[in-house]
Amino acid sequence: GESVGLHLPTLSVQEGDNSIINCAYSNSASDYFIWYKQESGKGPQFIIDIRSNMDKRQGQRVTVLLNKTVKHLSLQIAATQPGDSAVYFCAESRGGGGNKLTFGTGTQLKVEL
């Protein structure tokens, strides 16, 4: 069946290092992808998005890479800070109306001092 999933449930990095969080998707018809950050006790917050006609998009300290050939999405965080500790979700839009997003199961990012 179709799924959006993450390779690793937990990722530990040292403060100052770069973090890479991966996500696999299986629906080749998906045309919009998005990353959310969820801190403990809060709702998910938008980080960055990318449309299927792009393969890279950069934000402030974050970069999203899209590889449509292997249906892979990654989030790169530069110079990871303690405030980056959170659960990160990827999500895909499978078309249709209403911006209905399907979410992955999440990756816990832990930043070690």
Partner 1 sequence: DVKVTQSSRYLVKRTGEKVFLECVQDMDHENMFWYRQDPGLGLRLIYFSYDVKMKEKGDIPEGYSVSREKKERFSLILESASTNQTSMYLCASSSGQANEKLFFGSGTQLSVL
The binder of partner 1 chosen from 88, 89, 109, 111 (CB under 8 A): 89
Backbone φ/ψ region at 37: left (φ over 0), alpha (ψ -120 to 50), beta: beta
Site for partner 1 in 9-68 (CB under 8 A): 31-32, 34, 36, 41-46, 49, 51
CB 4 within 8 A of CB 22: no
**Residue among 83 and 98 whose Cβ is closer to partner 1:** 98
Query: Residue with structure tokens 């801190």?
Result: 39
The CA distance from 32 to 26, in Å, is 13
The least distance separating partner 1 from the CB of residue 87, rounded to whole angstroms, comes to 9
Q: How far is the CB of 99 from partner 1 (least distance, A)?
A: 5
